[in-house]
Chains A and B, each alone.
Chain A
Amino acid sequence: VSRRRASEKRSTEMGNKRAEKKHDKHHKTTRKEGEKDRKRPRRRNADEEEAEEESSKEKKNIKNERTKTVKLEDEKEKDVKKKRKNSESESHSESNSDAESKDNQAVGVLGSLTPEELEQLKEAVDERKKLITTLKGKPWPMKKKLVILRESQEFVEKYEGALGKGKGRKLYAYKVLMMKKWMKFQRDLENFKTACIPWEMKIKEIESHFGSSVASYFIFLRWMYGINMILFGLTFGLVMVPEALMGKPYGSMPRKTVPRVEEASAMNFAVLWDFGGYAKYSVLFYGYYNNQRAIGWLKFRMPLSYFLVGVGTVAYSYMVVIRTMARNANEEGGGDDTSFNFSWKTFTSWDYLIGNPETADNKFASITTSFKEAIVEEQESRKDDNIHLTRFLRVLANFLVLCCLAGSGYLIYFVVRRSQKFALEGLENYGWWERNEVNMVMSLLGMFCPMLFDVISTLENYHPRIALQWQLGRIFALFLGNLYTFIIALMDAIQLKRAEEEIVKKNMTIWQANLYNGTVPDNSTALPITVHPADVPRGPCWETMVGQEFVRLIISDTMTTYITLLIGDFLRAVLVRFLNNCWCWDLEYGFPSYSEFDVSGNVLGLIFNQGMIWMGAFYAPCLPALNLLRLHVSMYLQCWAVMCCNVPQERVFKASGSSNFYMAMLLVILFLSTLPAIYTIVSIPPSFDCGPFSGKNRMFDVIQETLETDFPAWFSKVFSYASNPGLVLSFLLLLVLAIYYLQSTSKTYKRVNMELKKKLQTQNEENKRKNKLAALKAANELEQAKKAGEQCSNSASDLGESTQNVSQLP
């Protein structure tokens, strides 16, 4: 889709530029219309004659002309390069002898043109150029397109050079050359960008086997991969690498060293898998970063960079999602328009991407069923059998779902508090389950609750599309509820850590006093006692803890997804395939049969995964890298699983006609997941001894600091004026007014649109009626004419017979 947009945009941009230029010229030249009218027909005739001459010659013997013009074009390319230095007439004289006479003719004729006619010629040349750029979109056969392309190119070449006569000649020729170079550059860039798109063949295979709806999940995955690539580039290049290369190395500071107590177990695989030990005290997490204002010989502003990258990732994500939504919105028609129901079913239901006989069979069956359903709906009115029972059942179903949601929320909260209790008592006493309880519970809930919702929804008896929308809404609520419960529990943990921090601070002063105990109490002359960084008592670093929790969550989520995939799809397929021979009923047709690919469930999973990344990326810069790896593996694993274990869907129901449905969900998740991060940045003071903001009162103080120290004095003055509440408030008010204005204009446009539509419809009906009447009238007249004609012919035949009889008389 993006490529089509780019090419359309380019051609319309070109077209618009040309159209604008044309408009300007029209305004200029309208005054002198009268004068030109005499001269113009002559000029135009000459032009047309020459063009006709050219085209007729071309059409007579195409082969010879083609080789000749290929040579011509070769030479013309050389000409273009020379044009900058020499004048145009000289370059033309070097071209092919056949074209030479024409060129000289053209130059000669042009030499005698008035400026207005030069303008006209310029317009013609621009028009030809526009034709060349929009040639792809013309519905002509390829041969015609190639011929017209060649003609237009020759026309442009011939007259463009000569047009530069007069004052702006050199500038014009230069502009033309730059434009050509720019177009070539753009084309090369397009070629390069297309070559970079990965997994094209894989997606094509899936499309041909499963149709476009399953493939849309993989296209979405690929798009997410692109976004994560950019996020990874930002965090890796601007945060992790500078600290690793230019910051103080491991072991030089307390925050960068594994504490003495943990040293023994720091290299254990179990600890590393849990992201403790050496993994915790590395660039992967927030706590490692030093709060030194400028590091290395580049004077790289590390804390500023950390903060800005955090803000930048969110801003970039917003921009990309909103831009994609806007693009998709342009394509939308009326959304759920039902005025062309049957027409659309007839002309747009066959999926041209299908390249597999089994999928084609399924598609034929589903199209037939869809038609039969639509016919039945059209013929009968819907029977409301027992609406009260249906309503009661639906209310019951919603009640059950709410209970489920509340239950899962409470379960998560309970488990998180329990895990905090375990942490306080020391994790070594507990087994694997207790340590990973929270993550496992969240992942298992995410796996089983949707199935439960599916079962409950059978009570409701909705149309499949509406049932799918309800299902998606419930899963969305489930994930959201779980995530926010998790965050609330995490907030409690943060508060605990901060309380602990106060205690540690007090202990630090006591410990330092003890250190100096043996030496002179006078601080000014005391030598600093070197203490190994591993022995210094450490404050609890709540930011690193938050980062760790998110990383653990992502990992367990990934593992659960893969294991579900392997067991749910692969194992099931293996069982069905191999046990089918020795089982009582046909496993492939009845229960359990092969699974279908659940597009909406997978898309939701992907969206929520991304939400967690956005939430945690500020505290664990390694998250985008981890996610990139995860998406890469997912792509290959799921492609394999889909081709190997799944069968094409029998009925395809899209959740909504609009392709913006999932984009809108992504936007909502983006908003909701950046809220907690923003809250913690704005309201909680950073830890005193870890991270790039340690020692500050609030994390965003780094901006203030940079403004004061790195920018000239007047800059910070301007900023302090700009952040005056009065100014900020009035600016906000202006924004709100602008939004209100834009919304009301768009509403007006929509209304006008509807009115025009209605007008068109009534007009059509009027026309129909009139045509019907006219048709009836015409039919009547025809009948009458026929009758009259018959009578005539009867009388004529009588006459003929009588004359025949007469002639036969002896």
Chain B
Amino acid sequence: MGNKQTIFTSQQLDAYQDCTYFTRKEILRLFHRYRDLAPQLVPLDYKNQPEVRLPYELIGSMPELKDNPFRQRIAEVFSEDGEGNMTLDDFLDMFSVLSEMAPRDLKAYYAFKIYDFNNDDFICKSDLEKTLNKLTRNELTEDEVRMVCEKVIDEADLDNDGRLSLEDFQHMIMRAPDFLSTFHIRI
């Protein structure tokens, strides 16, 4: 095996392999993708773990994310500061969860956080309305939006508090046939 890279120590690479679903080669490739977003900010030597944080605008302009209506939420959920500015660790974490190999329950957890716009650990009606408007680019009328939100709460809310908790969401999404194939970014 050619261990000629000088970016990470082998312990760091092993640790990343233990903490994500990526292989060694993929981690290096992801590092280069991260660096290509801002070559002047990201050093080529990560052995000392420099504190480098890329602003959200760069992350949101990646070809995999730029057409996604939820890209801001995705970046906010996975970033340390909650604003969308991501370190390399956050970057790797994000793509690991969104990769093909991540299991359903892990994806469900993060999907819940993404769709919870106000970060109150519940998907309430306003979160649903925002989701819907982002999905349809405001093409639905207010009545239709209201109706759909009510239907969703009706279908999925098990403890009847008018909003979806994590358990409600997970219970609903576990049986969805399309969830794994759509909540997936290939990089």
Say yes or no: is A342 at the interface (Cβ < 8 Å to chain B): yes
Residues of chain A contacted by B178 (CB below 8 angstroms) = 344, 348-349
**Other-chain contact of A344, B21, B67, B100, B176 (Cβ < 8 Å):** B176
Contact B96 A136 (CB under 8 A): yes
Docked-complex contact A136 and B182, CB < 8 angstroms: no
Question: A208 within 8 Å of B by Cβ?
Answer: yes
**In the complex, what residues of A have CB within 8 A of residue B21's CB?**
3-4, 7, 136
**Do B135 and A367 have beta carbons less than 8 Å apart?**
yes
Closest Cβ of chain B: how far from A453's Cβ, in Å?
27
Q: A190-B23, A356-B67, A360-B67 are known contacts. Are A139 and B106 too (CB-CB below 8 A)?
A: yes
Cβ of B120 < 8 Å from any Cβ of A?
Answer: no
Q: In the complex, what residues of B have CB within 8 A of residue A360's CB?
A: 67
Q: Provided the pairs A364-B137, A772-B160 are in contact, do residues A333 and B174 lie with their beta carbons within 8 angstroms?
A: yes
CB pair A371–B140 under 8 Å, yes or no, is yes
Q: Give the complex CA separation of A349 and B140 in angstroms.
A: 16
Are B69 and A368 closer than 8 Å at their CB atoms?
no
Picked from A145, A195, A356, the residue with its CB within 8 Å of the CB of B19 is A145
Query: Which bracket fits the contact residues of A?
Result: 35 or more
Q: Is B132's CB under 8 angstroms from A346's CB?
A: yes
By CB atoms of chain A within 10 A, which of B68, B151, B156, B177 has the most? B177
| Complex CA–CA separation, A204 to B178 (angstroms) | 18
Flag B153-187 by CB within 8 Å of A: 1 or 0 each: 00110111100000001001111111111111111
CB within 8 Å for A137 and B176 given contacts A347-B111, A764-B158: no
Q: Are B139 and A332 in contact (CB under 8 A)?
A: no
Q: Are A136 and B93 within 8 A (Cβ)?
A: no
Are A143 and B89 interface neighbours, CB within 8 A? yes
List B contacts of A342 (CB < 8 A): 148, 151-152, 155
By a CB distance below 8 angstroms, the chain B residues around A208 are 63-64
Interface residues of A in 721-739 (CB under 8 A from B): none
Known contacts A343-B155, A347-B173, A348-B176; A367 and B96 CB within 8 A of each other: no
Q: Which residues of A contact B152 (CB under 8 A)?
A: 342-343, 346
Indicate if the CB atoms of B131 and A346 lie closer than 8 Å.
Answer: yes
Does A150 count as interface, using CB distance less than 8 angstroms? yes
CB closest chain-B residue, reference A62: B49
Chain B positions within 8 Å of A801 at CB level: none
Q: Does A350 contact B (CB under 8 A)?
A: yes
In the complex with contacts A149-B15, A347-B115, A137-B67 CB distance below 8 A: no
Q: Which residues of B contact A (CB under 8 A)?
A: 1, 9, 11, 15, 17-21, 23-26, 48-49, 63-64, 66-70, 78, 80, 89-90, 92-93, 96, 98, 100-103, 105-106, 109-111, 115, 128, 131-132, 135-137, 139-140, 144, 147-148, 151-152, 155-156, 158-161, 169, 172-187
| Complex A-B: 19 CB contacts under 8 Å | A3-B21, A4-B101, A66-B49, A67-B48, A137-B102, A139-B109, A195-B23, A334-B175, A335-B177, A340-B176, A341-B151, A341-B155, A343-B173, A344-B178, A346-B131, A348-B176, A350-B69, A350-B70, A364-B137
A interface residue numbers (CB < 8 A to B) = 1, 3-4, 7-8, 63, 66-67, 70, 73-74, 132, 135-139, 141-143, 145-146, 149-150, 187-188, 190-191, 194-195, 200, 203-204, 207-208, 212, 331-335, 337, 339-344, 346-357, 359-360, 364, 367-368, 371-372, 375, 378, 657-659, 764, 767-768, 771-772
Nearest 5 CB-CB pairings of A with B? A333-B175, A142-B89, A360-B67, A4-B101, A142-B93
